[in-house]
C-alpha cells in the first residue's frame, strides 16, 4: 500500500490529529519553525503559547491529568529542550503521559556544537520513559505513533521526540496509527489469576486490613476509582490514599482515613503501622509514605498491585505482587470475592475500626484558631467549605506547606480533580498546571493553591493565562517564607533560617493587575470569606493574596528517619523527640 | 519476608533492538540507579531482525537483581531479559589477549600457555601475544601466572554466555 508523501512537519500535525490531539503547549524557535509553519496553516489543533518551556510541560501535565488524555508539548532545540527537562522529570516521577517534540539542528550539524544545539536525547534519557532522535522523515510517522502508544500504555510517562530541522522539512510517507505495529513494549494488564485468588483469600482472613492506594488508581481511569470504592464498601476495610491518589475514594467516605505518610493523618499512619494486611494498589511504597523502612508496618502481610513490575519489591518486600492494570485486577478480585462467597471477618473488622476511631479521636489535624491572624489551615478549610457544593472544582498546587495543607484540608470526592507534583516536588508546577486544566475545562473552577515562594518560579505564565483569557484562581498562602524549608530549619537546624525568608516580594495585587488579572488580599480572618467568595464570583483570572501566620508549621509530621508510630502531632511534640542522626541525612 | 544481604553474581542476557542509544540506556540505568556492572558485552546477533544481544555480569542482593531485571524489562527497545544464573545450566566464555614482553620468561610463558591452551597470535624476538578463551576465572589465573614473566598488557572481551540445551532465548 502506498502512503501519501508529505513533509515531516505536516506528518507531525497529521499524526497529532489522528491521535485525537486538540491542544498543544509550546514555544517556537529556529529548529522547530517548520512545524510552527504547519501549525499556522491548519485549525484543528490549538496551540497555547507559553512564556517559558517549563510552563508548557507542566501545562500539558495538568491537561493530561485532568482529562486522562496525552499532553503534548512542542519546543525548540537547545534551551527549549533543556527548559523542558524539569517538567519531563516531573511527569516521569508522577507517571503522567506526555509527548514532547523538540526541534533539533539539522542532522548534518548534530555533534558540531551548532547554534542552539544540545544532546537532547542524551540529556533527557534518564528523565523520560523513552525518547527518540528521528534521523529520517520516513521513520517519523511510525515514531510519533509509537511515542503516543508508549506514553499512555503500561505505567504512563513522558516520551520525547527530537526532530532535526531537515527531517521536518524533508518528505516522507504518512503512515496512519492503525498500520504501526509495536514490536517490543507490551506491558502486562491482566493480573495473574492464581495470585489474585491467593490475595483475595488472604483478605478474607485479615483481622486488621487496610487499603493503601495511590496515583496508579487515578492513572488507570475513573472506572478504577469506582471499583476501588465498591471493593472498599464490600469488604468494610479502611482505606488510606497517597498524595497522588487523593480522589480515588471520596474524601467523605466513612472508611477513608485521609492521606498517609510524612504529613498524613495520625489514624492513617497508625492503621498502617498496626495492620496485619496491607493491600497496596497503584502505590509505590515511596519514602515519604513508609518512613523508616525497618519499622514500616512490622506485622503486616502485603499485597501489591501495580502495572510496573519494577515497583514491586523495590522498597518493601511483599508477600503477593500482582502485575497488571488496576482496573482489570480490581474487576477480577471483586469477581473472586463474590464467586467464592468470601466475607470479611466482621467481628475483627468492627474491632479494628473501633481502634481506628479511637485514633481519629486525637483529631490530629486540629490547629489553634485565631481571630487576629489567618491560619493557613483555616484558609484552605474555608476555601473547601465555600467551593464544595460545586462539582467542577479542580485544585492544583505548588510544593511545600500549602501543598500538604491542601491535601489535608481539601476534600476530593472524585479522581482527576487534584493535580500536584508528588514525586519530584517541583515548585512552580501549580500555576502552569492550572492553566492546562482550565484549558481542558473552560467552565470549571480551577484553583492553584500556592505559596508565595513557589508562585514566583513560574509567575511568567500569568501572561499566558491572560492571553487565553483563562479564569484561573491563584490562592496564595503568603507567609513570606519558604514555609517547608523554614519548618525543617526550625525542627532540624536549630532555628537557623538560612535563606528561607524572602524580602522584596512583589505586591501580588498590583502584580495581578499588571498581568490583566484581578488582585485581592485578605489580612484578617474576618476578611477571608469575602475574599474567597469574590474570587469565585469573578469570571476572570484572580490572584488572592492571603496573608497567613508566618510561624505556622504543618502537622502531623513523621520526622525523617522515624517510623509511622513516631509522629509529631503538634509544636508541643518537637522538643521531646529530636531527630536521629540517621534522619538528618535523609531528605 | 526478609532478604539475605549477601551479594550474588548473576549473568543476564538481554535481547534489544539494535538502535542508536540502546547501550546508553542500559548503561545509564545501571549508573543512574547505582547497580554494579562487572562486565558488559554487546554485538548484533540477528542482523536480519536488527537485534543485538547484551550480556551483563552484575552482582547484588536477590532484591537488587530482581530490580535490575524488572528495570531492564521496562526499557522500550528490550525484547527479552534472561537471568542465565538462575534459569539453568549455561556456558560462559571470555577471550583475552595477553602481551608478555622481555626475554627472561619466554620459555616458561610458552609452557604455561600450553597448559592453559592459549595460542600465540603474535610474536617478536622479545614478546608474545597470547589468545586465551575460557571462563573469567581461568583467564585470571593465566594472567596472574604471566605477571612475573613480563606481562605488560591485557585486553579482555568481557563475558558472553548462553544457556545449555536446545532452547533459544
Alpha carbon distance A283, A260 (integer Å) = 12
C-alpha cell at B93: 566464555
A265-305 pLDDT, tens digit per residue, is: 999 999 999 999 999 999 999 999 999 999 999 999 999 99
Q: Is the pLDDT of residue A49 over 70?
A: yes
User: Considering CB atoms only, which of B17, B63, B77 is closest to A313?
Assistant: B63
User: Considering CB atoms only, which of B24, B74, B79 is closest to A310?
Assistant: B74
A186 or B97, greater pLDDT:
B97
Confirm or reject contact between B28 and chain A (CB < 8 A): yes
Catalytic residues of A, by residue number, are 53, 115-116, 165, 484
Helix axes A53-67, A79-93, angle to 10 degrees: 30
Shortest Cα distance from A169 to chain B (angstroms)?
Answer: 22
Q: Are residues A104 and A240 in the same domain?
A: no
**CB within 8 Å: B63 and A130:** no
Q: Is the pLDDT of residue A316 over 60?
A: yes
- In a 3-state reduction of DSSP, which class is residue B108? helix
Q: Is the pLDDT of residue A455 over 60?
A: yes
Q: Tell which B residues from 69 to 98 touch A, by Cβ distance under 8 Å.
A: 70-71, 73-79
Cβ–Cβ < 8 Å for B122, B129: yes
Position A577 scores a pLDDT of 54
Contact list in A for residue B75 (CB cut-off 8 A) is: 130
C-alpha cell at A533: 467568595
| Residue A213 burial class via C-beta count within 10 angstroms: exposed 0-12, middle 13-18, buried 19 and up | buried
C-alpha cell at A293: 523502612
Whether residue A112 is contained in a domain is answered as: yes
E strand intervals along A356-505: 393-397, 418-419, 445-451, 473-478
Alpha carbon distance A210, A212 (integer Å) = 6
Confirm or reject contact between B51 and chain A (CB < 8 A): no
Alpha carbon distance A334, A338 (integer Å) = 6
Q: Residue B2 — very low, low, confident or very high, per pLDDT cuts 50/70/90?
A: very low
Q: Are residues A56 and A168 in the same domain?
A: yes
Position A237 scores a pLDDT of 98
A540-573 pLDDT, tens digit per residue, is: 999 999 999 999 999 999 988 888 888 999 887 7
Mutating which of A142, A188, A294, A313 best tests the B interface, going by the most B Cβ atoms within 10 A? Answer: A313
Confirm or reject contact between A127 and chain B (CB < 8 A): no
Alpha carbon distance A9, A38 (integer Å) = 6
How would you classify the pairing of strands A393-397 and A445-451? Answer: parallel
Q: Is the pLDDT of residue A575 over 60?
A: no
Q: What angle do CA A35, A41, A44 make, to 5 degrees?
A: 90
Shortest Cα distance from B89 to chain A (angstroms)?
Answer: 26
Q: Are residues A209 and A357 in the same domain?
A: yes
| Residue A78 burial class via C-beta count within 10 angstroms: exposed 0-12, middle 13-18, buried 19 and up | buried
Q: Are residues A342 and A429 in the same domain?
A: no
Q: Is the pLDDT of residue B98 over 80?
A: yes
Contact list in A for residue B73 (CB cut-off 8 A) is: 309-310
**CB within 8 Å: B67 and A314:** yes
CA A492 to chain centre: 28
Q: Are residues A167 and A71 in the same domain?
A: yes
Q: Are residues A200 and A333 in the same domain?
A: yes
Q: Are residues A21 and A161 in the same domain?
A: yes
Position A571 scores a pLDDT of 82
Report the residue count for chain A. Answer: 587
**CB within 8 Å: B76 and A126:** no
Q: Are residues A510 and A438 in the same domain?
A: yes
Confirm or reject contact between B63 and chain A (CB < 8 A): yes
% of chain B residues with pLDDT over 70? 97
Nearest CA in chain B to A319: B1
**CB within 8 Å: B77 and A126:** no
Shortest Cα distance from A82 to chain B (angstroms)?
Answer: 19
User: Considering CB atoms only, which of A121, A313, A319 is closest to B21?
Assistant: A121
Partners of A568 in beta bridges:
A557
How would you classify the pairing of strands B78-83 and B39-46? Answer: unpaired
**CB within 8 Å: A125 and B21:** yes
Contact list in B for residue A183 (CB cut-off 8 A) is: 17, 79
* Prior bond of A396 cis (ω within 30°): no
Contact list in A for residue B25 (CB cut-off 8 A) is: 125
Q: Are residues A153 and A100 in the same domain?
A: yes
- Domain B8-83 in CATH 3.30.70.260? The answer is yes
Please enumerate in sequence order all residues whose Cβ is within 8 A of that of A356, keeping only pairs 6 or more positions apart, or say none. Answer: A238, A257, A267, A270, A271
Helix locations, A429-544, DSSP H: 430-440, 452-455, 461-467, 483-492, 508-514, 525-537
Shortest Cα distance from A184 to chain B (angstroms)?
Answer: 5
Position A579 scores a pLDDT of 67
**CB within 8 Å: A122 and B2:** no
CATH number, domain with residue A357: 3.40.50.1220
Number of structural domains (chain A) is 3
% of chain A residues with pLDDT over 70? 99
Position A580 scores a pLDDT of 72
Confirm or reject contact between A186 and chain B (CB < 8 A): no
Q: What is the mean pLDDT of chain B?
A: 94
In angstroms, the Cα distances linking B111 to A334, B121, B127, B148 are 72, 15, 15, 14
Contact list in B for residue A313 (CB cut-off 8 A) is: 63, 66-67
Q: Are residues A425 and A353 in the same domain?
A: no
Confirm or reject contact between B61 and chain A (CB < 8 A): no
Shortest Cα distance from A182 to chain B (angstroms)?
Answer: 10
Position B3 scores a pLDDT of 47
Q: What is the mean pLDDT of chain A?
A: 96
Residue range(s) defining the domain that contains residue A232: 193-362
DSSP string over A162-203: EEEHHHHHSEEE---GGG----S-----SPPHHHHHHHHHHH
Whether residue A334 is contained in a domain is answered as: yes
A187-244 pLDDT, tens digit per residue, is: 999 999 999 999 999 999 999 999 999 999 999 999 999 999 999 999 999 999 999 9
Alpha carbon distance A10, A168 (integer Å) = 8
Q: Is the pLDDT of residue B151 over 70?
A: yes
User: Considering CB atoms only, which of A121, A184, A310 is closest to B71?
Assistant: A310
In angstroms, the Cα distances linking A337 to A200, A324, A330 are 6, 18, 10
Mutating which of B29, B76, B77, B83 best tests the A interface, going by the most A Cβ atoms within 10 A? Answer: B76
| Residue A169 burial class via C-beta count within 10 angstroms: exposed 0-12, middle 13-18, buried 19 and up | middle
Helix axes A326-339, A222-235, angle to 10 degrees: 30
User: Considering CB atoms only, which of B3, B28, B67 is closest to A125?
Assistant: B28
Position B1 scores a pLDDT of 39
Mean pLDDT over A477-488 rounds to 96
Q: What angle do CA A152, A156, A158 make, to 5 degrees?
A: 90
ipTM beyond cut 0.85 = yes
Q: Is the pLDDT of residue A321 over 60?
A: yes
Position A582 scores a pLDDT of 73
Position A559 scores a pLDDT of 87
Mean pLDDT over A77-86 rounds to 98
| Residue A200 burial class via C-beta count within 10 angstroms: exposed 0-12, middle 13-18, buried 19 and up | buried
**CB within 8 Å: B76 and A130:** yes
Whether residue A579 is contained in a domain is answered as: no
Q: Residue A329 — very low, low, confident or very high, per pLDDT cuts 50/70/90?
A: very high
Contact list in B for residue A111 (CB cut-off 8 A) is: none
C-alpha cell at A505: 516580594
- In a 3-state reduction of DSSP, which class is residue A26? strand
Alpha carbon distance A420, A434 (integer Å) = 10
Please enumerate in sequence order all residues whose Cβ is within 8 A of that of B70, keeping only pairs 6 or more positions apart, or say none. Answer: A308, A309, A310, A312
| pTM tops 0.90, yes or no | yes
Q: Which of these three, A306, A336, A362, is where a domain ends? A: A362
Fold of B90-162: Alpha-Beta Plaits (3.30.70)
% of chain A residues with pLDDT over 90? 92
Confirm or reject contact between A535 and chain B (CB < 8 A): no
Q: Which of these three, A329, A362, A395, is where a domain ends? A: A362
Whether residue A553 is contained in a domain is answered as: no
**CB within 8 Å: A133 and B20:** yes
Q: Are residues A161 and A200 in the same domain?
A: no
Residue B8 DSSP symbol: E
Question: Do the domains B90-162 and B8-83 match in fold?
Answer: yes
Confirm or reject contact between A139 and chain B (CB < 8 A): no
How would you classify the pairing of strands B90-101 and B127-134? Answer: antiparallel
A100-143 pLDDT, tens digit per residue, is: 999 999 999 999 999 999 999 999 999 999 999 999 999 999 99
Alpha carbon distance A199, A297 (integer Å) = 18
Shortest Cα distance from B81 to chain A (angstroms)?
Answer: 12
Alpha carbon distance A453, A485 (integer Å) = 11
- Domain locations in chain B as residue ranges: 8-83, 90-162
Alpha carbon distance A52, A73 (integer Å) = 12
Shortest Cα distance from A49 to chain B (angstroms)?
Answer: 31
Q: Are residues A381 and A433 in the same domain?
A: yes
Please enumerate in sequence order all residues whose Cβ is within 8 A of that of A169, keeping only pairs 6 or more positions apart, or say none. Answer: A7, A8, A9, A34
Q: Which of these three, A362, A394, A426, is where a domain ends? A: A362
CATH number, domain with residue A489: 3.40.50.970
Q: Residue A1 — very low, low, confident or very high, per pLDDT cuts 50/70/90?
A: low
In angstroms, the Cα distances linking A571 to A110, A224, A401, A582 are 57, 39, 15, 22
Mean pLDDT over A497-509 rounds to 94
Mean pLDDT over A498-524 rounds to 96
Amino acid at each position: 500500500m502506498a502512503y501519501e508523501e508529505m513533509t515531516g512537519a505536516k506528518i507531525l500535525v497529521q499524526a497529532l490529529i489522528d491521535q485525537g490531539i486538540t491542544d498543544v503547549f509550546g514555544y517556537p524557535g529556529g529548529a522547530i519553525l517548520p512545524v510552527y509553519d504547519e501549525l499556522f496553516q491548519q485549525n484543528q489543533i490549538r496551540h497555547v503559547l507559553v512564556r517559558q518551556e517549563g510552563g508548557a510541560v507542566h501545562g500539558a501535565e495538568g491537561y493530561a491529568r485532568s482529562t486522562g488524555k496525552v499532553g503534548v508539548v512542542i519546543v525548540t532545540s537547545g534551551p527549549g529542550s533543556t527548559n523542558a527537562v524539569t517538567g519531563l522529570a516531573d511527569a516521569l516521577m508522577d507517571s503522567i503521559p506526555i509527548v514532547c517534540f523538540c526541534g533539533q539542528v539539522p542532522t548534518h550539524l548534530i555533534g558540531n556544537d551548532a547554534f542552539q544545539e544540545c544532546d537532547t536525547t542524551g540529556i533527557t534519557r534518564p528523565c523520560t520513559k523513552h525518547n527518540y532522535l528521528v534521523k529520517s522523515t520516513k521513520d517519523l510517522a511510525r515514531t510519533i505513533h509509537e511515542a503516543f502508544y508508549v506514553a499512555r500504555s503500561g505505567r504512563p510517562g513522558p516520551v520525547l521526540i527530537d526532530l532535526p530541522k531537515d527531517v521536518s522539512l524533508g518528505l516522507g510517507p504518512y503512515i496512519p496509527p492503525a498500520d504501526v505495529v509495536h514490536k517490543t513494549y507490551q506491558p502486562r494488564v491482566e493480573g495473574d489469576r492464581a495470585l489474585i485468588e491467593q490475595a483475595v483469600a488472604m483478605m478474607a482472613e485479615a483481622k486488621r486490613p487496610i487499603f493503601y492506594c495511590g496515583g496508579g488508581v487515578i492513572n488507570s481511569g475513573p472506572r478504577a476509582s469506582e471499583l476501588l470504592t465498591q471493593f472498599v464498601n464490600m469488604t468494610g476495610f479502611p482505606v488510606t490514599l497517597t498524595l497522588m491518589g487523593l480522589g480515588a475514594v471520596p474524601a467523605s467516605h466513612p472508611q477513608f482515613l485521609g492521606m498517609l505518610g510524612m504529613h498524613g493523618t495520625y489514624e492513617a499512619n497508625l492503621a498502617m503501622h498496626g495492620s496485619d494486611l496491607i493491600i497496596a494498589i497503584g502505590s509505590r511504597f515511596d519514602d515519604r509514605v513508609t518512613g523508616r523502612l525497618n519499622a514500616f508496618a512490622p506485622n503486616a502481610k502485603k499485597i501489591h498491585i501495580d502495572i510496573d513490575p519494577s515497583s514491586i519489591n523495590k522498597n518493601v518486600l511483599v508477600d503477593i505482587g500482582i502485575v497488571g492494570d488496576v482496573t482489570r485486577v480490581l474487576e477480577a478480585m471483586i469477581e473472586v470475592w463474590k464467586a467464592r462467597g468470601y466475607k470479611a471477618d466482621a467481628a475483627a473488622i468492627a474491632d479494628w475500626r473501633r481502634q481506628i476511631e479511637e485514633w481519629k479521636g486525637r483529631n490530629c489535624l486540629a490547629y489553634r484558631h485565631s481571630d487576629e491572624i489567618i491560619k493557613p489551615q483555616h484558609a484552605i478549610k474555608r476555601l473547601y467549605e465555600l467551593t464544595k457544593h460545586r462539582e467542577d472544582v479542580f485544585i492544583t498546587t505548588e510544593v511545600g506547606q500549602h501543598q500538604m495543607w491542601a491535601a489535608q484540608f481539601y476534600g476530593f470526592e472524585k479522581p482527576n480533580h487534584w493535580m500536584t507534583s508528588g514525586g519530584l516536588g517541583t515548585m512552580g508546577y501549580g500555576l502552569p498546571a492550572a492553566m492546562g486544566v482550565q484549558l481542558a475545562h473552560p467552565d470549571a473552577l480551577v484553583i492553584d493553591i500556592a505559596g508565595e515562594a513557589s508562585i514566583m518560579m513560574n509567575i511568567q505564565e500569568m501572561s499566558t493565562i491572560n492571553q487565553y483569557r483563562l479564569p484561573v484562581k491563584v490562592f496564595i498562602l503568603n507567609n513570606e517564607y519558604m514555609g517547608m524549608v523554614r519548618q525543617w530549619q526550625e525542627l532540624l537546624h536549630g532555628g537557623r533560617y538560612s535563606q528561607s525568608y524572602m524580602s522584596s516580594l512583589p505586591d501580588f495585587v498590583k502584580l495581578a493587575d499588571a498581568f490583566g488579572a484581578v488582585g485581592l488580599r485578605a489580612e484578617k480572618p474576618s476578611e477571608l470569606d469575602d475574599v474567597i467568595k469574590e474570587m469565585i464570583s469573578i469570571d476572570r483570572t484572580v490572584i488572592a493574596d492571603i496573608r497567613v501566620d508566618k510561624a505556622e508549621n504543618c502537622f502531623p509530621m513523621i520526622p525523617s528517619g522515624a517510623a509511622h508510630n513516631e509522629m509529631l502531632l503538634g509544636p508541643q511534640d518537637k522538643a521531646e523527640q529530636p531527630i536521629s542522626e540517621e534522619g538528618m541525612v535523609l531528605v | 519476608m526478609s532478604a539475605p544481604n549477601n551479594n550474588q553474581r548473576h549473568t543476564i542476557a538481554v535481547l534489544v533492538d539494535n538502535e542508536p542509544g540502546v547501550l546508553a540506556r542500559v548503561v545509564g540505568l545501571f549508573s543512574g540507579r547505582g547497580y554494579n556492572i562487572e562486565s558488559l558485552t554487546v554485538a548484533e546477533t540477528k542482523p536480519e531482525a536488527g537485534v543485538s544481544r547484551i550480556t551483563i555480569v552484575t552482582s547484588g542482593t536477590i532484591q537488587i537483581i530482581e530490580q535490575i531485571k524488572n528495570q531492564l524489562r521496562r526499557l522500550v527497545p528490550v525484547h527479552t531479559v534472561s537471568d542465565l544464573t538462575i534459569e539453568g545450566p549455561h556456558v560462559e566464555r571470555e577471550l583475552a589477549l595477553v602481551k608478555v614482553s622481555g626475554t627472561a620468561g619466554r620459555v616458561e610463558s610458552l609452557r604455561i600457555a600450553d597448559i592453559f591452551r592459549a595460542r600465540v597470535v603474535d610474536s617478536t624476538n622479545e614478546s608474545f601475544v597470547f589468545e586465551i578463551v575460557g571462563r573469567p576465572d581461568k583467564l585470571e589465573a593465566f594472567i596472574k601466572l604471566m605477571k612475573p614473566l613480563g606481562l605488560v598488557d591485557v585486553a579482555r572481551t568481557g563475558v558472553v554466555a548462553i544457556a545449555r540445551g536446545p532452547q533459544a532465548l
